[in-house]
Chain A
Amino acid sequence: MKIRKTKHKDKIELQMTPMIDIVFQLLVFFIMTFKIVEPEGDFNVRMPPPASQSPSQPPETPTLILKMTADADGNLASMKLGDVPFTGTDKLTPFDQLRSHIVSLVGDEAGPGTASEREVELDSDFNLKYRYDINAITAISGYIQDGQKFKLIEKIRFAPSSE
């Protein structure tokens, strides 16, 4: 015990300064490069060029055509799936209505090889903002209920645009 006490007298001092310098450098680097990234996700669409589309046999069920028109500002003016218009109400947006329509379409034709096999063609005005395309794809391709994802129609393509 006596020996240890005498050793304590000249306690070895660690040189902290260089380490703290480097550690702060690292800290500053990571703070500067830090960027909050929101997760992103994809809608996969397979679109062969129109020229290569061979005149195959017509599909058994006709393609549904979703026609969206734009107003002068590029916002949604009207939306129609086939002959059914979606105007939106106080509570529901047109896209909510479109989704419930698709749900009933898929639900009515239960069984394999029916509505969910159908193809939807998006025919939008040139000026329509892209966000409405994504909204429409979201409404058509599925919905989320109680944290679970249900698929609706996944075959989606774009009509050739015309200016």
Chain B
Amino acid sequence: MKVVSAKRREVSEGDMTPMIDMVFQLIAFFMVLINFSDIDQDQRVHLPKSELAKPPEVAYEKPITLQMTADEGIILNAGASDLLSIEDLRIALMRQSQVIKAQGDDIKLSDVTVIIRADESARHGKVLEMVDAAQQAGFETFAFRGKQSQDSGFNSRE
């Protein structure tokens, strides 16, 4: 003991170990929870709640996500800041279906799933216009997306 105290002319250092332990724990926590696959979810869209909305068991082979905000603007490419009108969407979907057709036989238009993420307060007719545009471009399979919730969502009226 005597030796140690005599050597303490250097700067006394706090014990870093517990702090580093905690920081690594936190990093591991956030790394595990981070989810890059949900990157197509747009914060401008508030999905309607539904108790039966279950995440798909297998990922869709070739999904196209159409999103509609509460102001009924359309987002085709996830993350795009500008909203499309229905005419723009028609043109863009036609182009996409041409591209898929040109790719040959490995994927058919009817196999493409069009995911509809519409805001809960968007109007029914506007959502159907979006569906109609996709139908005209040749897409047939649709998935209407809802937010999973414990209650039925029947009472929500905010």
Contacts and interface: CB of A to CB of B under 8 A. Distances in A.
Interface stretch (B79-87, B98-106, B138-146): B138-146
B145 A42 contact: yes
A38 B142 contact: no
Given A95-B152, A129-B121, A131-B156, A40 B48 contact: no
Interface residues of A, number: 59
Given A37-B38, A127-B123, A129-B123, A134 B55 contact: no
A63 interface: no
Nearest to A95: B154
Interface string B11-40: 001001000100110110011011100100
B27 to A, nearest CB: 5
Interface in B94-138: 113, 115, 117-125, 127-129, 131-132, 135-136, 138
A31 interface: yes
Interface string A129-163: 11111110111011110000100000000101101
Contacts of A27: 23, 26-27, 30
B34 A34 contact: yes
B153 A41 contact: no
Contacts, number: 182
Contact of B147 (A13, A40, A74): A40
A130 B142 contact: no
B144 A134 contact: yes
Q: Is the interface of B mostly helix, strand, loop or mixed?
A: mixed
Given A44-B141, A45-B142, A144-B52, A37 B35 contact: yes
A93 interface: yes
Interface string A105-140: 000000000000000000011111111111101110
Contacts of B24: 23
A126 B124 contact: yes
A70 B123 CA distance: 10
A40 B145 contact: yes
B155 interface: yes
B30 A130 contact: no
Interface string A85-106: 0000000010110000000000
Contacts of B54: 41-42, 149
Contacts of B52: 41, 43, 138, 141-144, 149
25 contacts: A24-B23, A27-B26, A30-B27, A30-B30, A30-B34, A39-B55, A42-B56, A42-B115, A42-B143, A44-B141, A46-B140, A46-B141, A47-B140, A74-B123, A126-B125, A127-B125, A129-B122, A130-B120, A130-B124, A138-B53, A138-B152, A144-B52, A158-B128, A160-B128, A161-B132
